[in-house]
């Protein structure tokens, strides 16, 4: 050994180097194998559906805690954890066909697994747990999601027929479980956090969507951060004697893009749209539009009520900067947001003229650039993630909006 490596110190260093190389090789191979298996699997959404079906749980009533893709006993599985009906469920779903490999249900501090037990044993254990259980404040009779909606409607002074939903889901913070209920009417957006245990309103946020004058005359519940909202129908301004009132009808997203292109001095055919979505800040509703053209990047904020340019930013390209040049070249290889929208609409089996887009932007997801596309047809909401380089559909879902 000394002849080969020179001395004992060299021996140790070189052996350690060989060992490290072997570890890296094995790790890389394992990661690649896992990635390939996940790409060919049933997908996380379907794994959740198999778990909900086996548990007899309505997905709308469940609080999803975790969904992970992992290897177990030589096979790939999805680990799905959720809470529903006062119990916590943990499922291991076979990634190839949705078979339930393992499940665990925790109820009232007592774990009940799918191991074989007689009916008498199960009844005896359940009775013992219930009789000895000391009820804690957050373990009372939980309200359901519909109860939470009705509490929010009553507090907001609206009826179910007046609203459309952005989001309704279960969540948990510092051990307190609550429902997030986000909805909007023709003039106002509401966000509520409602505790599951007793229906208490933990937090609420109310934001007006009409003209700036109406916002000034209305006291907001609290100062809200900018939130993503769904498109609403154009609202005719209320008659008033004030000369400062904005009287323009809302401009569409396509019209806002045309305004931005004209201001930037570029042609629509030269543009690649990175993001085009509706947003709001301090009561002012605007379109947030980002695009590239002629190797420059543009960011515009266009006011919805009248099409005025509120803000713009232009990043000029630097051809001498290799990093910038590489980034531009990569970006030019993307399919573009308009094509991504078309791919999503075609997959959903609807026409472009039939839908309303609420989000269309380029974003990074797990290190991969993807277009996030969201749109509505009637009461059906669709969400897509489209790989930016090749147009493949990475993930999609559709939900009936209550």
CATH classification of 145-216, choosing from 3.10.450.40, 3.30.70.940, 2.100.10.30, 3.30.70.3270?
3.10.450.40
pLDDT in tens, 101-151: 898 888 634 444 443 444 455 445 445 533 443 333 444 457 888 888 999
Q: For the chain, what is the mean pLDDT?
A: 76
| Reduced 3-state DSSP string for the chain | CHHHHCCHHHHHHHHHHHHHHHHHHHHHHHHHHHHHHHHCCCCHHHHHHHHHHHHCCCHHHCEEEEEEEEEECCEEEEEEEEEECCEEEEEEEECCCCCEEEEEEEECCEEEECCCCCHHHHHHHHHHHHHHCCCCHHHCCCCCHHHHHHHHHHHHCCCHHHCEEEEEEEEEECCEEEEEEEEECCCEEEEEEEECCCCCEEEEEEEECCCHHHHHCCCCCCCCCCCCCCCCCCCCCCCCCCCCCCCCCCCCHHHHHHHHHHHHCCCHHHCEEEEEEEEEECCEEEEEEEEEECCEEEEEEEECCCCCEEEEEEECCCCCCHHHHHHHHHHHCCCCHHHHHHHHHHHHCCCHHHCEEEEEEEEEECCEEEEEEEEEECCEEEEEEEECCCCCEEEEEEEECC
Task: Give pLDDT tens digits for 298-338.
Answer: 999 999 999 999 988 888 654 434 444 444 445 668 999 99
> Which one has a higher pLDDT value, 12 or 106?
106
Q: CA 69 to CA 41: how far, in whole Å?
A: 10
Contact 202/178 with Cβ under 8 angstroms? yes
Q: Where are the domains of the chain?
A: 2-39, 44-134, 145-216, 253-400
Question: In the chain, pLDDT over 70 holds for what percent of residues?
Answer: 68
Flag whether pLDDT at 297 surpasses 80.
yes
pLDDT of res. 166: 62
Contacts of residue 159, Cβ cutoff 8 Å, sequence gap at least 6: 153
Contact 189, 207 (CB under 8 A): yes
pLDDT reading at 3 higher than 60: no
Find residue 204's DSSP bridge partners.
Answer: 192
Domain 44-134 and domain 145-216, same fold? Reply is yes
Contact 370, 349 (CB under 8 A): no
Contacts of 94 (CB under 8 A, 6+ apart): 75, 76, 77, 100, 101
Residue 93 pLDDT more than 90?
Answer: yes
Residue 361 has pLDDT above 50, yes or no: yes
In the predicted structure, residue 283 carries a pLDDT above the cut 50: yes
Top mean pLDDT of 140-149, 244-253, 345-354 is at 345-354
Q: Residue 288: its pLDDT value, please?
A: 93
**What pLDDT was estimated at residue 17?**
63
Name the pLDDT band for 60 (thresholds 50, 70, 90): confident
Q: Are 311 and 303 in contact (CB under 8 A)?
A: no
Contact 358, 231 (CB under 8 A): yes
Task: Indicate whether this model's pTM tops 0.75.
Answer: no
Q: Tell which wins on pLDDT, 8 or 94.
A: 94
According to the per-residue pLDDT averaged within each range, which of 118-132, 163-177, 228-242, 269-283 is highest? 269-283
Residue 327 confidence (pLDDT): 46
Predicted confidence (pLDDT) at residue 228 exceeds the cutoff of 50: no
Question: What count of residues does the chain have?
Answer: 402
Question: Domain 44-134 classified CATH 3.30.390.50?
Answer: no
pLDDT in tens, 159-213: 988 888 666 777 788 778 888 888 888 888 888 999 988 899 998 888 876 544 4
pLDDT over 70 at 233, yes or no = no
> What pLDDT shows up at residue 12?
58
pLDDT greater than 50 at residue 230: no
| Separation of alpha carbons 324 and 290, rounded Å | 17
pLDDT over threshold 50, residue 71: yes
Q: Is the pLDDT of residue 241 over 60?
A: no
| pLDDT at 221 > cutoff 70 | no
Quick one: pLDDT at residue 92?
92
Top-ranked range on mean pLDDT: pick from 54-68, 157-171, 227-241, 339-353: 339-353
Would you tell me which CATH number, out of the four given (3.10.450.40, 3.40.640.10, 3.30.70.100, 3.30.565.10), belongs to the domain 253-400?
3.10.450.40
């Amino acid at each position: 050994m000394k002849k080969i490596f020179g001395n004992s110190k060299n021996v140790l260093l070189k052996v350690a180097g060989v060992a490290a190389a072997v570890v890296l090789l094995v790790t890389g191979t394992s990661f690649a194998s896992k990635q390939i298996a996940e790409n060919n699997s049933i997908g996380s959404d379907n794994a959740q559906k198999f778990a909900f079906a086996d548990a007899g749980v309505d997905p709308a009533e469940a609080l999803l805690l975790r969904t992970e893709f992992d290897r177990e006993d030589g096979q790939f599985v999805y680990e799905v954890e959720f809470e529903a009906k006062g119990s916590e469920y943990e499922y291991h779903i076979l990634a190839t066909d949705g078979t339930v490999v393992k499940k665990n249900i925790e109820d009232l501090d007592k774990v009940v697994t799918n191991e074989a037990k007689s009916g008498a044993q199960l009844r005896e254990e359940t009775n013992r747990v219930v009789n000895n259980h000391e009820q804690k404040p957050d373990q009372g009779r939980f309200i359901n999601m519909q109860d939470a909606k009705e509490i929010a409607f009553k507090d907001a002074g609206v009826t179910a027929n007046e609203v459309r939903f952005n989001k309704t889901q279960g969540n948990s913070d510092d051990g307190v479980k609550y429902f997030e209920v986000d909805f909007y009417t023709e003039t106002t957006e509401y966000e509520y956090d409602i505790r599951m245990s007793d229906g208490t309103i933990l937090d609420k946020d109310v934001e007006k969507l009409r003209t700036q004058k109406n916002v000034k005359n209305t006291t907001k519940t609290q100062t809200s951060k900018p939130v993503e909202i769904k498109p609403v129908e154009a609202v005719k301004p209320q008659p008033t004697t004030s000369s400062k009132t904005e009287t323009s009808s809302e401009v569409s997203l396509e019209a806002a893009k045309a305004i931005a292109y004209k201001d930037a001095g570029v042609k629509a055919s030269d543009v690649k749209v990175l993001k085009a979505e509706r947003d709001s800040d301090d009561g002012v509703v605007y379109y947030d539009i980002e695009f590239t053209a002629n190797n420059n990047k543009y960011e515009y904020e266009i006011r919805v009520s009248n099409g005025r340019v509120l803000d713009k930013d232009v990043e000029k390209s630097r051809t001498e900067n290799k990093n910038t040049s590489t980034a531009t070249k990569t970006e030019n290889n993307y399919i573009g947001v308009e094509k991504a929208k078309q791919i999503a609409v075609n997959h959903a089996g609807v026409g472009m003229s039939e839908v309303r887009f609420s989000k269309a932007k380029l974003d990074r997801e797990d290190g991969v650039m993807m277009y996030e596309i969201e749109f509505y047809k009637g009461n059906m909401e669709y969400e897509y993630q489209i790989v930016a380089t090749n147009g493949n559909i990475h993930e999609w879902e559709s939900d009936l909006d209550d």
